[in-house]
Amino acid sequence: MRAAAFTLLVGWTVWYLQPMANVDRIWSDVLLACQEHPAESEIVIVQVTAQDVLENGVDRLDRKFIARTFARFADHGVRRVLSDINLNAQLSTEEFSALLTSLQRLGPARFATGYEPNEQMQGRKELRDLATTVDLRMISGHDARFREFSYPSQSPAADPIAWLAFGESASGPTAFDLRVDPQSFARYTISEIHQPMFDPAKLRDKLVILAMDQSVNRTRVYLPMSGESNRGTLLAMATHAKLRQYERHLAIGDIVLTVHAVSAVLAGLLIGLWSTTVRRAFLWFMAVGGVLMFAASYMVVSNGTPARPASTLILTLSSLYSALAFRMKLPQLLWGFMAGDLSPEEAWAWRTQADGKQPAVLFGSSGFIKRANAAAIQAFQLHAPTFTQDGVQLAKLCSPEVGEHASEITTNIGNEQIWALAWPHVHLPMVVFTDVTAAAQEQAALKRQLTTDPLTKVLNRKGFEDAVAEMNRQGRQDYAILFMDMNGFKQVNDEQGHEAGDLLLKHAAARFASVMRPSDRLARLGGDEFAVLMVGQLDCDSVQAMALRLEATLVEPIDVGSAMVHVGVAAGFALPESPAETSAEVLRRADHEMYARKSYLKSLKGEKPRSSR
């Protein structure tokens, strides 16, 4: 949803600002002007040339001559006449009388003249009452080209194009249909229509525009592609568009442009979200761009309205960039940086984890939590938006010492969970947590199975060796190893059976464990041999006392089901004599001491000692 909203905002901005408007205009102008459709036959342009002025006036066209022209229009049955010639200059009595007579024949329903904002230049009221006043002022586009007939808003005069086309006073700009060839309008000079051989049918029921050509009017106007033109041609182009109801084509064109814009946005989003490589995104963009360019060209040719191919491509590219930006988490980067409490490096790193499914936490320098994603808030029951109190204990677990990064922690929030910690950035205190509880429990169970004696449930030989190896990795020298060997076990096993022997071993292991410290590790090495690893502040007396307690555990008889049996145990021990002595050497001395002890105990009973291994 964020990606879609951001893309729509960017797209609307691009579409509204139109950074490629000039390219779009040129593209549309070329395709429209190349079609060269013929002009509407109802429209006739009557031009006043420099030769006409010379022949019918001195410094200006004789207004009596103009009056006779208006009379000709009335005689030939024109439908409406739009005059772009100023009739408000100072008139002689004869000129005023001639104009008054000719305009009475036409009347305001068939004759319109330009509006003059300056009251002193408006002329005599009698003539104004016989004409419809229209606003003939023109406003060009940004490039000084005319693509529509537009005049100042809030004008008190009527719309000249609506009046000429339909006799209406409705106001508003009228866009040109640039497909029309501006040279294809019927044109006559004002002198031509006074020739005896002039065919009146050429003006009958026509819409006539009376205007000066470029040789008389110093004002220069320009059409797209066609170049320099005159005001009469512009009025004719607008009237043609009004007659052909070109505004309907423009309305359809606006709908098509909207469809193109929406398609461009969706195409850019889909390309950005689905492309797996830059090369694939580029190829898809080129393909979609080709389709959009073809669609824009087809709209210009078929509907005859301008298109925005360049803006549409920019819109597609903007949507593509927006989608890629969201895939790269760039908005999160910007928002995080603008929050003010993150460095650029932290904001860049956090953008990848802010919406992640795995818990992630970004710690501050004092151990408080700067950021925690939704998964972390749920997993560790954090209290947003402030994490000050919540972060202290979690920070201690993740970094037990300054600069130290833990690789695994255990939490007890509701139930025990084991988390593997990943530090994606070495110099940033950002942690990503992975719940490995199930895997750790499964591994622990497998390890217990591999290191536990299945009969007595104490450590087996491998478990004992692992315990000694772990002690060596810790560099401990405060330890002792005890070896024990039972007396009488073989006899019980032979006389009472293996089940009785197994039960004897179970009871013996339980009695040994009952006199040991919680930190001591008991192991059955095989047969009736046991070993104990003691770690901590020890001396010879305390270890010897432990050996005696272990031996005393088997003084009492043991019920093995089929009989009550009496067995004994001999315990030998050894402590490291120097830091250079290895645990293997200590273990061999303990084994030797056990056999020495076994021989001693047998000598007390008068038994012949068994040879040591």
Please give the Cα distance from 356 to 346 (Å, whole number). 16
Is 437's pLDDT higher than 50? yes
**Which pLDDT score, from 0 to 100, does residue 273 have?**
85
Q: pLDDT tens across 109-148, in order?
A: 999 998 877 766 667 888 888 999 998 888 888 788 898 9
Mean pLDDT (whole number) for 221-242: 90
Lowest mean pLDDT among 38-47, 211-220, 591-600: 211-220
Q: pLDDT tens across 523-562, in order?
A: 999 899 999 999 988 899 999 999 999 999 998 999 888 7
**Which pLDDT score, from 0 to 100, does residue 244 have?**
93
Is 58's pLDDT higher than 50? yes
CB 609 within 8 A of CB 602: yes
Is 163's pLDDT higher than 80? yes
Share of the chain above pLDDT 70, in %: 91
H helix or E strand, kind and range, residue 419: strand 415-422
**Which pLDDT score, from 0 to 100, does residue 141 have?**
80
Is 6's pLDDT higher than 60? no
Q: Is 443 helix (H, G, I), strand (E, B) or coil?
A: helix
H helix or E strand, kind and range, residue 431: strand 430-435
**Which pLDDT score, from 0 to 100, does residue 589 have?**
93
Spell out the SS3 assignment of 173-188. Answer: CEECCCCECHHHCEEE
**Which pLDDT score, from 0 to 100, does residue 24 have?**
85
Is 580's pLDDT higher than 90? no
Q: pLDDT tens across 379-388, in order?
A: 888 876 666 6
Counting other chains too, the contacts that 199-206 makes at CB distance below 8 Å and 24 or more residues apart are: 200/75, 200/76, 200/77, 202/44, 202/76, 203/44, 203/72, 203/73, 203/76, 203/77, 203/78, 204/76, 204/77, 204/78, 205/42, 205/77, 205/78, 205/79, 206/42, 206/43, 206/44, 206/78, 206/79
Please name which of 327, 264, 319 lies closest in space to residue 6, comparing C-alpha atoms.
Answer: 319
Which domains are present in the chain?
2-26+248-327 (no CATH), 41-243 (no CATH), 331-439 (3.30.450), 452-605 (3.30.70.270)
Please give the Cα distance from 287 to 290 (Å, whole number). 5
3-state helix, strand, coil in the chain (%, to 5): 50, 15, 35
Q: What pTM did the predictor assign?
A: 0.59
- Binned at pLDDT 50, 70 and 90, residue 608 comes out as very low
Residues β-bridged to residue 482: 532, 573
Q: What are phi and psi of 72, to 5 degrees?
A: -60, -45
The overall average pLDDT reported for the chain is: 86
**Which pLDDT score, from 0 to 100, does residue 613 have?**
32
Highest mean pLDDT range out of 5-9, 341-345, 501-505?
501-505
Please name which of 381, 378, 375 lies closest in space to residue 393, comparing C-alpha atoms.
Answer: 381
Mean pLDDT (whole number) for 320-336: 68
Whether a cis peptide bond, with omega within 30° of 0, leads into 359 is: no
> How far is residue 33 CA from its own chain's centroid?
41
**Which pLDDT score, from 0 to 100, does residue 383 have?**
76
Q: pLDDT tens across 178-219, in order?
A: 999 999 999 999 999 999 999 999 999 999 999 988 888 777
Helical segments of 244-308, H only = 246-274, 278-303
Token pair in block for residue 105: 């024949």
Q: What does DSSP say about strands 529-535 and 564-565: parallel, antiparallel, or unpaired?
A: unpaired
